[in-house]
Amino acid sequence: MTERHLPGVGGVILAAGRSERYESGNKLLATLDGTAVVRQVAETARESSLSDTVAVLGHESVAVAEALDGLSLSIRHNAQYATGQSTSVRHGVEYARSAGWDAALFLLGDMPFVRVETIEALIETYRTESATIVVPTHGGTRGNPVLFDGCHFDALASVSGDRGGRDIIDTNEKTAFIEVSDPGIRWDIDTDDDFTEFADRRDGL
């Protein structure tokens, strides 16, 4: 199959949440091997072939921005972060449009265990197949990050609350689900116990 000509697939890191269920403070600033969770997500994005990356910040944005200091990425501040993840998605879409991206890969700032190879698999599927949305699965269960072609930017910008792009994924006829050998696509940190469990499971792989 002929590969698409793509000027850019960029990454949007959603890192504005309030960490309400994380007992020890802001989960994005928890350290794993001496590095903040959100920085690990950003480093993985920058190690991949994504052409550009933007982090959308909200809660404790100054501290989160400091955790990302020195990385080659842009920062957007979401003043409405308390009303739901959809507002951060909207900021990501606005940035993607202004930067001229063909597609955006949405990464969650509390998922530091996703592998670079998984990002590459999503991008490659988008480049070589007809899918306009690409979703990773592990053991048959879907996870994150998720790639959206620009044709979905209008729909993403109109979602509300914390639904994100799930309804768009479920109703799109050109959604590709690709199985990956990366359990990290399911390991989002909500609580202190999650952090400990996923770190232990990763070390045991």
Task: Report d(CA 205, CA 202) in Å as an integer.
Answer: 5
Helices 37-47 & 116-128 angle (0-180, nearest 10): 40
d(C-alpha 175, C-alpha 169), whole Å: 6
Our CA angle for 46, 48, 50, nearest 5°, is 80
pTM of the predicted protein model: 0.94
> Which residues pair with residue 178 across a beta bridge?
136
Alpha-carbon distance of 89 to 68, in angstroms, equals: 19
User: Are the beta carbons of 140 and 183 closer than 8 angstroms?
Assistant: no
| Successive 10-residue mean pLDDT values, the chain, 205 residues | 61 95 94 96 97 97 98 97 93 96 97 98 95 97 98 94 81 97 97 94 81
Domains of the chain: 9-203 (3.90.550.10)
DSSP per-residue letters across 119-137: HHHHHHHHHHSS-SEEEEE
Give Cα 24 distance to the centre of its chain: 23
Classify strands 35-36 and 53-57 as parallel, antiparallel or unpaired.
Answer: unpaired
What DSSP character marks residue 78?
-
Contacts of 11 (CB under 8 A, 6+ apart): 45, 48, 50, 52, 53, 54, 104, 105, 106, 107, 119, 145
pLDDT of residue 165: 82
Q: Taking the alpha carbons of 134, 138, 143, 144 in that order, is the dihedral positive or negative?
A: negative
What is the predicted pLDDT for the residue at 163?
64
